[in-house]
Amino acid sequence: MERRKFLKSAALGLAAAPIAAPAIAQTMPEVKWRLASSFPKSLDTIFGAADEVAARVAAATDGKFQIRTFAGGEIVPALQVLDAVQNNTVECGHTASYY
């Protein structure tokens, strides 16, 4: 008998879920992060990867999650990106672990 109660309550929960889902999606706030990179803009293959990730994240979230990329030295020195992320100076970083 416990199994039947569980199945009935689960079915009611699943039936209500699609009704609430659109309201949640419409109220999604905008998020803006800054990404500090260790690499200069002149290294298009490396720095360009960060730009590409930022563009794809924005496209996947309809612009609700935006990541602005900054080259080495624009916010923090190039070799201090990991420290900047740890100290909450920036939200994310693009660097090599050996720096």
Q: In the chain, how many domains are there?
A: 1
Exposure class string for 22-60: b at 16+ Cβ within 10 A, else e: eeeeeeeeeeeebbbbbbeeeeeeebeebbeebeebeee
* Burial class, 69, CB count within 10 angstroms (exposed 0-12 / middle 13-18 / buried 19+): buried
The SS3 call for residue 66 is strand
pTM beyond cutoff 0.75: no
Region 65-72 average pLDDT: 96
- Expressed as residue numbers, the domain containing 50 is 29-94
* 44 in any annotated domain: yes
* 53 in any annotated domain: yes
* 60 in any annotated domain: yes
pLDDT value of position 28? 77
* 10 in any annotated domain: no
pLDDT value of position 24? 54
